[in-house]
Structure 1
Amino acid sequence: MIGARIYLRLVIQDLPLIASDILVCTAWTTSVVSASFDIVFHKLGVLRPYVSYTLEGFRGTPEEVEFVWKLQWGGQFPFFTAFYLCKATLLTLYAHFFPAFMQTRRKILWGTMAFCGCAYLTTILTMLTICRPIEGNWSSDPAVACSPIVFAQVFYVGWALNFAGDLMKLWSILDLQTGLVIACIPPLRPYLSHTRTMWPFRLANKTPKESENRSELSEVPQHHDRSRPRREEPSNMESVDDLHDLEGRSVSERDLDAESSALASPKSPMSEV
């Protein structure tokens, strides 16, 4: 999804990367780093069902236990960073959707950005200051080590702020990878219009069906026209022949009138002689 988004922006649209693109790439990087900690935990056997979060039931040397505590403390930074980067990606994308005249919504958006930024800083500062000295987060020395309940407190504080930020921007709490997918979906909308120009043969396969539909539609008025009697207009040649016939009839009628008038007239004396 992220690769498709970057390809769309750089290659297809030929546009530079915007802030949301850079943030989503950074979120993906921190997500990969956070997932790598889980792979190491699984390899060490920490993710076994019988191992608790205080490492009770973990079968390892004291050095391995200390190493696991270091990983558990350090793995929280990329974990929370990836979550808040996903939020920042969506919020910067929303900033492009809300025009300047929507002042109320933009104020709410900027307020949500400020809250998420403060929540992230609070979470990081809590992880750095809740256990002093810092070595107490992973040390096996009882005089220096902090209580395991400290990690639970960090978890509660971090997730309370995270959930509050989700409620403010109307986004439910989701898994880290799901958040990355959601952050990448909105900018991929231009792919729908690009596929039509990139693969025209798919549209060409549909043209015969369209032509058949057009032929079927064209046949309907033709049958309708055939059912109606058509008036045939006389051509120019036919009109000329009709004129000749009329002239011939008028001449013959005149001859008949002349003959009838001659027969009806009285006979002359010369004819009697």
Structure 2
Amino acid sequence: MAFPAPGAAAVLVSQWVLIAISAAVVIARVYLRLAIQKRKILSSDVLMCAAWVCAVATASFDIKFAQMGALKPQVKTTLAGYNGVEGDVILLLKLFWVSSIPFFTTFYLCKAALLAVFLQVFPKFMKKRRIFLWAIIAFVAVSYVVSILMVLCVCLPIETNWALDPNVACTPVKVAAVFYVAWALHFTGDLLIFILPWLIVPGLQLKWKLKMGVYCTFLLGLINIIFCLVRFITIATSTADSVAPLSLVELWSALDCNIGLVIACLPSLRPYFRGRRGSDYPYNSNTYPKSANTRPGEGFNMITDPSGSRATTSGTPKRSPHISTSRSGVFDDPWEDGKKSNASDIELVNVKPQAM
């Protein structure tokens, strides 16, 4: 698949624009947690901030590559076409090797942040689905360890990663093995995480507009999967006669890394985009009468059912045939990243209590 080779400016501008966007998203996420929700920072927030720091570290290497002239369109991934002395080539190879560590770390911290959110979202009574979630968490953790170990251990001693002598340097077969295995683990993890929301969203009785919004949020994960595929195809289809430009590979890698960072933050930002009035709550207007109101400072909406009975506000409502709650007896907004509901933002979300 032939793509025109970008210059250093195109790589750096696209990369740092995405990093700036992701910084704004991360700040909005933290502000939501601390200033609006008045809550402590959650594990998913810490993981996302760490992912952003690693993304900045990864992007910083490209600044050095550009300064050394390695991101010129004519320079290939084999460094053919690079005009530099032997010391510069060795330095570039060292930087390539070191930069792979924050690069992989960014990917897996984004995955960990999303999994931390899902761990709070999945109700405990969905035992089989939570088992599947924990299996994915284990897979992602093992994948990260395997990826880093391959970078560190496939070519030993470490100096062979930047040696120029063909008799000493790490063989192309080993380098290719690291790329293929690491990419396969990363891509499989993305696919598994992309599947997770569809295990619970269909079981939520939401107003169709809200459900479509949730679907669209998670469908954005397809964008990241597409860039991941393009990056793989660009490198895997390179031949001896048609080696991919280094700048093009760096561009796809930056897009894959930083778009994933932005998308990983989006689910927890949903409260910024939803209404707070009763008309926007995700219950079906055909199921609940329009006489619902909320008294300030009380824990549940006052729902008048057809028989005339009303839900109590002491903390445990009288059971109505129209209301189903989780076993904890507390209404949670599954897309609030673990935020407990209160009188100002309660959402009556019905979860079908299945064992799956």
For the criterion TM > 0.5, the same-fold answer is: yes
SS of match in other structure, 2:174: helix
Residue identity opposite 2:136 in structure 1: T
The answer as to 2:144 corresponding to 1:114 is no
Measure, in 1, the Cα distance between the counterparts of 2:263 and 2:70: 31
For each residue in 1:51-92, what CA deviation from the matched residue of structure 2 results, as whole angstroms up to 9, or x when unmatched?
111111111011100000000000100001100111111111
For each residue in 1:223-260, what CA deviation from the matched residue of structure 2 results, as whole angstroms up to 9, or x when unmatched?
xxxxxxxxxxxxxxxxxxxxxxxxxxxxxxxxxxxxxx
Deviates more, 1:91-100 or 1:150-159: 150-159
Deviates more, 1:185-194 or 1:45-54: 185-194
Measure, in 2, the Cα distance between the counterparts of 1:103 and 1:157: 31
Cα displacement (A) at 1:42? 1.6
The answer as to 2:215 corresponding to 1:191 is no
Cα displacement (A) at 1:3? 0.3
Measure, in 2, the Cα distance between the counterparts of 1:188 and 1:168: 22
Measure, in 1, the Cα distance between the counterparts of 2:112 and 2:163: 35
**How many percent identity over aligned positions?**
49
The answer as to 2:102 corresponding to 1:78 is yes
Based on CA coordinates, which of the two structures has the bigger radius of gyration? 1
* Matching residue of 2:64: 40
CA contact (8 A) 1:89 1:183 kept: yes
Measure, in 2, the Cα distance between the counterparts of 1:149 and 1:53: 15
Gaps of at least 5 residues in structure 2 are 1-24, 195-220, 228-255, 278-356
Measure, in 1, the Cα distance between the counterparts of 2:125 and 2:44: 22
Measure, in 1, the Cα distance between the counterparts of 2:140 and 2:110: 11
User: What is the correspondence of 1:111-260 to structure 2 with a 5 Å cutoff?
Assistant: 111-170=135-194, 172=222, 173=225, 174=227, 175-192=256-273
Residue identity opposite 1:115 in structure 2: F
Deviates more, 1:81-90 or 1:151-160: 151-160
CA contact (8 A) 1:27 1:82 kept: yes
Measure, in 2, the Cα distance between the counterparts of 1:169 and 1:21: 18
Deviates more, 1:140-149 or 1:101-110: 140-149
Cα displacement (A) at 1:189? 2.2
Residue identity opposite 2:82 in structure 1: F
* Matching residue of 1:64: 88
* Matching residue of 1:213: none
For each residue in 1:156-181, what CA deviation from the matched residue of structure 2 results, as whole angstroms up to 9, or x when unmatched?
11101111112222254252211111
For each residue in 1:99-146, what CA deviation from the matched residue of structure 2 results, as whole angstroms up to 9, or x when unmatched?
100111111111000001101111111111111100111123444322
SS of match in other structure, 2:93: helix
Measure, in 2, the Cα distance between the counterparts of 1:194 and 1:43: 48
Measure, in 1, the Cα distance between the counterparts of 2:79 and 2:173: 12
* Matching residue of 2:124: 100
Taking a change above 3 Å as real, the CA distance of residues 194 and 17 of structure 1, as seen in their structure-2 partners, is farther
Measure, in 2, the Cα distance between the counterparts of 1:47 and 1:29: 23
Residue identity opposite 1:78 in structure 2: P
* Matching residue of 1:204: none
Superposition TM-score, scaled by structure 2 size = 0.52
Residue identity opposite 2:75 in structure 1: V
Taking a change above 3 Å as real, the CA distance of residues 99 and 48 of structure 1, as seen in their structure-2 partners, is same
Residue identity opposite 2:174 in structure 1: V
Measure, in 2, the Cα distance between the counterparts of 1:159 and 1:18: 29
Residue identity opposite 2:130 in structure 1: R
Measure, in 2, the Cα distance between the counterparts of 1:99 and 1:158: 32
* Matching residue of 2:331: none
The answer as to 2:53 corresponding to 1:10 is no
Measure, in 2, the Cα distance between the counterparts of 1:2 and 1:166: 20
Residue identity opposite 2:80 in structure 1: E
Measure, in 2, the Cα distance between the counterparts of 1:31 and 1:135: 26
**Higher fraction of helix:** 1
Cα displacement (A) at 1:149? 4.4
Measure, in 2, the Cα distance between the counterparts of 1:150 and 1:66: 19
CA contact (8 A) 1:83 1:176 kept: yes
Cα displacement (A) at 1:182? 1.4
Measure, in 1, the Cα distance between the counterparts of 2:275 and 2:99: 41
Aligned residues: 196
Residue identity opposite 1:72 in structure 2: F
User: What is the correspondence of 1:253-268 to structure 2 with a 5 Å cutoff?
Assistant: none
Measure, in 2, the Cα distance between the counterparts of 1:90 and 1:63: 42
CA contact (8 A) 1:24 1:85 kept: yes
